A and B are shown apart, each in its own frame.
Chain A
Amino acid sequence: MKARHKRTAIIVGGLAAIGIAAALVLNALNSNIALYVTPSEVAAGKAPKGAAFRIGGLVKEGSVKRTDLTVNFIITDTAQDIPVAYTGILPDLFKEGKGAVVQGKLGADGLFTASEVLAKHDENYMPPEAKHSVDQAQKNQNPQGAKP
């Protein structure tokens, strides 16, 4: 009876200790676990200099321009914009106003040359008709067409 309680206490205590250790380690590694930085973080100088990194944000409306195989667009978190150049095939879900994660290097001129572009979609799943009515409702609220 006593031994059983003792073992239970050791297990619970051990789990708590491991949990706290994991929380501290993850907290210390926080910025390294993030897959990408935001354009605002790049503007604040938090991006690694001279090394490849990823930026995540929205593809700015009206910014996608194609010349031959190269695509130029702006990635934004609505506060800061970063121009991106990419040569290659874009994923199907890559669209203006939608999320994207770009990997590459930031040039001295502020142009981000991407070697990989990934599309990031959201967690909403709905039929096209429902999507249409959601878009309509947003447009009515926001006549300028500016996305929040």
Chain B
Amino acid sequence: MSNRLVHWFKFASPQSFYPLAGKMIPWFWALTAVFGVAGLWLSFFVAPTDATQGEGYRIIFVHVPTSWMSMFIYLVMAAWAGLGLALNTRLSGMMASALAPTGALMAFLSLWTGAFWGKPMWGTWWVWDARLTSELILFFLYLGFIALQAAIDDPRRADRAGAILALVGVVNVPIIYFSVQWWNTLHQGASVSVNKAPAMAQTMLWGMLLMALCFWMYSIAVALMRVRAIILEREAHTEWVKDLAEVKR
């Protein structure tokens, strides 16, 4: 095993990751604020009115970032879960558990803002098309993951059970993403994708990307805060936790 690999594995131990996460959290909050202010300013004051949808389209600046994050967080959560299953590292399971509530929040916001957008534009809050239904399934996968882990008392067993659910659910993510290409849906196709030029005015696109970065940084910040709480809870019996300044106080 090379030196570099050993170096990285050092942070797979909760004891060394706990202070590292503590140091990173303020930076991610700062980035959240910077991207949030810039993104909201572009979204509300710079981006032009849309020709078809008027001002109502501006919900895109929350809807698209939360939808992206709901899918991306699921992939990251499943990757941590898979890593934990394969390598038996404790921190991986903790990271997966820490990400789940934020992912569920993003999926919920995506559905909620989508409903608010659908009513004035399409004429309905909800329709059972492939895009909306698969995103709803994603939301339920998050809830199922959280519920399953909460139902099992032994944390290591809870991690393993959750990991299997998370990995099975991964199949849903490409279905959400490609649903608008594979089937007839009410939801329109992607405005931004890797293989074509964005179908949006420049400032609109920048507003949306900055908001996506804002939600991304926020997700990292809260996931790190949550993982620190989980570490304290699960390692409460260890000497290093008992020696922590914030625990002694």
Give residues in A with beta carbon < 8 Å to B: 4, 7-8, 11, 14-15, 18-19, 22, 26, 30, 33-38, 56, 89-94, 101, 116-128, 130-132
Contact = CB atoms under 8 A, between A and B. Distances in A.
Nearest to B179: A33
Interface in B183-205: 183-186, 188-191, 199-201, 204
Contacts of B52: 93, 121, 131
B172 to A, nearest CB: 8
B123 A90 contact: yes
Contacts of B190: 123
Closest 8 CB pairs of A and B: A91-B123, A131-B51, A127-B48, A34-B184, A35-B129, A123-B191, A8-B86, A123-B188
B213 interface: no
Contact of B188 (A7, A122, A127): A122
Contacts of A92: 120-121
Nearest to B200: A125
B85 A118 contact: no
Interface in B12-71: 48-53, 57, 60
A2 to B, nearest CB: 12
A128 B49 contact: yes
Contacts of A38: 184
Interface of B: 48-53, 57, 60, 82, 85-88, 120-124, 127-130, 167-168, 170-171, 175, 182-186, 188-191, 199-201, 204
B188 A120 contact: yes
B123 A125 contact: no
B187 to A, nearest CB: 9
A44 B52 CA distance: 33
A15 B129 contact: no
A22 B51 contact: no
A130 B189 contact: no
A80 to B, nearest CB: 15
A7 B85 CA distance: 7
A122 B123 CA distance: 15
Most chain B Cβ neighbours within 10 Å, of A7, A30, A90: A7
A127 B50 CA distance: 5
Contact of A123 (B123, B127, B167, B189): B189
Given A33-B130, A117-B123, A11 B48 contact: no
Contacts of B167: 11, 14-15
Contacts of A36: 184
A121 B188 contact: yes
Contacts of A14: 167
Contact of B122 (A11, A22, A118): A118
B38 to A, nearest CB: 19
B121 A93 contact: yes
Contact of B86 (A11, A19, A30, A124): A11
Contacts of B88: 4
29 contacts: A4-B86, A14-B167, A15-B167, A15-B171, A22-B175, A26-B175, A33-B130, A35-B128, A35-B185, A89-B123, A91-B121, A91-B122, A93-B52, A93-B121, A116-B123, A117-B123, A118-B127, A118-B186, A119-B121, A119-B123, A120-B186, A121-B122, A121-B188, A122-B188, A124-B199, A125-B60, A125-B200, A126-B201, A127-B49
Contact of A125 (B50, B120, B128): B50
